[in-house]
A and B are shown apart, each in its own frame.
Chain A
Amino acid sequence: MKIAACIKRVPTTEAQIKVGADGKSLDTTGLQYMASFYDEIAVEEAIKTKEKLTGDVTVITIGPSDASKEVREFMARGADTGLVLKDDAWHARDARSTAKALATKVKALGAQVVFCGKVATDRDNAAVGPMLATYLGWACVTDVVSLALENDKGTAKRETEHGVETVSFALPAVITVSKGLNEPRRPNLKGIMAVKAKPIPEEPCEAVANQAVVNKVEQPAPRKAGRIVGEGAAAVNALVTALRSEAGVL
């Protein structure tokens, strides 16, 4: 089975984010990057699918040449090939332009199943997976926490706000994955050495104009300082009142 996993390069968890001088983007000075959290689960599921049904896994990302680092990391974990669709302004692409470019490539690859993280941890759109499925005309199963795939079909459990939903679908499909589906393996050092010299092809990413344009980026307002309402048991009433009327959590 031809399996693809799409990953996005995002700033590391440790990154201290600052708004760029244009007020519309992030200041990328000194930023380090990693694959988005849910994408790790996506690639792990792709590798597990290959191990169960045989086939090969291609990891695709849109980004600068350096994004080969994240792709190679997944190859060290067991993905067979990687591909960087080069776009130095990848972080400015909207979900539609990302999905369109990916759809073209997924078609060319002849993949039967594509795994994506349910959302990228930088821009929180949660839209690329479903849009990719739409452009491909494939089944789309989102927020998957459990999956049983066969060669031509599958069943999945999806976590929704109302409970867990079990769905059946036919392949080809785009599956977006959620936490709990699997525990991503760690690359080992031998794996890293094995893929060290493997070429990761780079192709220009299809240019698609953004429809959603970022006008302004602001950092979240700093958290307000706490307030001590009193001391000991005598303060309980004041605390409950404050939690109800000020915080609105009761």
Chain B
Amino acid sequence: MEPYRPLDFFQLDDQYSEDERMVRDTVRSWVTERYLPLCMEHFENGTFPMETVPELAEMGVFGPTLPAEYGGAGLNNVAAGLIYQELERGDSGLRSFCSVQGALVMYPIFSMGSEEQKRHWLPKLASGKAIGCFGLTEPDFGSNPGGMLTVAKKDGKNFVLNGRKMWITNGTVSDVAVVWARLDGKIRGFLVEKGTPGFSAPEQKHKFSLRASVTSELVLEDVRIPESNLLPKSEGLKAPLSCLTQARYGIAWGALGAALSCFDEALRYSKSRIVFDKPLAGFQIPQKKLADMATQITLGQMMALHMGRLKDQDKLTPQHVSMGKRNNCQLALDVARVCRDMLGANGISLEYQTGRHMVNLESVNTYEGTYDIHTLAIGQELTGIPAFR
């Protein structure tokens, strides 16, 4: 296979520190050598390569910014962003697996859990000995999670949970689910362990997107959990939304990885594919497409990097993240579609990366806040007027 040559039109490489580049290059080479050879088959079969979990854990990509005492690597947010970029260069399903484990399971346990919950779960999750999932979305409540119907009731020293969650990445393979439910009218987070009676996580099949990723429904029927499984500091809708801000930050970087992969493939293809006796890249229409895509990717790279630096200074707001997620997911989807087109008939083959990225990005653009919902979040920030209802 030709070596991967990611676009770096503005020499942003110089803006990363030595250790940030080292982190990125470590993950990049792992994706090239270990993940990509497996990816096509898992995508076709609709499975996640679980055999890679120990290697991902050993590399340190689960909860990379968490402190070492809880099993994290203590990385800064730019390095973490670069990890997600490189993972999604492999496949959005791979990045989703790691985002969920880190931003949606380890982060809420770290920031809202008791010390006992942290000590029990975080090292296991960091080492891949336990897998987690995040249950917020419901069949009828996606963009409006505050309408959720899942409820928890106190019963002696237990809570009893009832409800259904949908579109839950890793649900079926998880050892622990962070489930969001209404307790006395207020949204709270609960840890539900695999095997708890009344709790099941059937897999949602027949997807055309994120096929190399497990997506599940969570079914909770009189699920009785000890009161110690409540995340004590989780209160209100802002609690799950704060987790989503973490994950969306990673998605803003990850989507760039998918775009870079498509662009690299289409650029290489257009230079080597001969049409009408000269390379495809020698015609004006392909060149305009390449110039437009390179510009969009470069703008996205600068936005992601600046978001990372702001996050490291604790200045990144959810609205910044909305803009980054919205922009970079849409640009990645646009780039993937154009690259798919440039690859001609080859673009529909899984032997090429682009078609797989393109269909994956349909999910990435939708989950964790759709393009339109983030539009409204930015609109509210600019005008002070919420337009959600």
A residues sitting closer than 8 Å to B (CB atoms) are 13-14, 16, 30, 32, 68-69, 72-73, 76, 186-190, 192-193, 196
Contacts and interface: CB of A to CB of B under 8 A. Distances in A.
Contacts of B22: 69, 72-73, 76, 187, 192
B95 to A, nearest CB: 16
Contacts of A76: 22
B18 A14 contact: no
A189 B30 contact: no
Closest 6 CB pairs of A and B: A189-B60, A189-B73, A14-B3, A196-B19, A14-B5, A190-B73
Q: Interface residues of B: mostly helix, strand, loop or mixed?
A: helix
Interface in B9-26: 11, 13, 18-19, 21-23, 26
28 contacts: A13-B3, A14-B4, A16-B5, A30-B11, A72-B22, A73-B22, A186-B26, A186-B29, A186-B30, A188-B26, A188-B59, A188-B60, A189-B23, A189-B26, A189-B59, A189-B79, A189-B83, A190-B68, A190-B74, A192-B23, A192-B26, A192-B73, A193-B19, A193-B68, A193-B73, A193-B74, A193-B75, A196-B19
Interface of B: 3-5, 11, 13, 18-19, 21-23, 26, 29-30, 58-61, 64, 68, 73-75, 79, 83
Which of A14, A16, A30, A68 has the most CB atoms of chain B within a 10 A radius of its CB?
A: A14
Nearest to B57: A188
Given A30-B11, A189-B26, A72 B60 contact: no
B294 to A, nearest CB: 15
A188 B57 CA distance: 9
B226 to A, nearest CB: 33
Given A72-B22, A196-B19, A189 B61 contact: yes
B18 A68 contact: yes
A32 B73 contact: no
B64 A189 contact: yes
A187 B18 contact: no
Contacts of B19: 72, 192-193, 196
Nearest to B79: A189
A76 B21 CA distance: 13
Contacts of B3: 13-14
Nearest to A69: B18
A190 to B, nearest CB: 5
Contacts of A190: 60, 68, 73-74
A186 B60 CA distance: 11
Contacts of A14: 3-5
A113 to B, nearest CB: 27
A182 to B, nearest CB: 15
Nearest to B73: A189
Contacts of A189: 23, 26, 59-61, 64, 73, 75, 79, 83
Nearest to B17: A196
A32 B13 contact: yes
B18 A72 contact: yes
A169 to B, nearest CB: 33
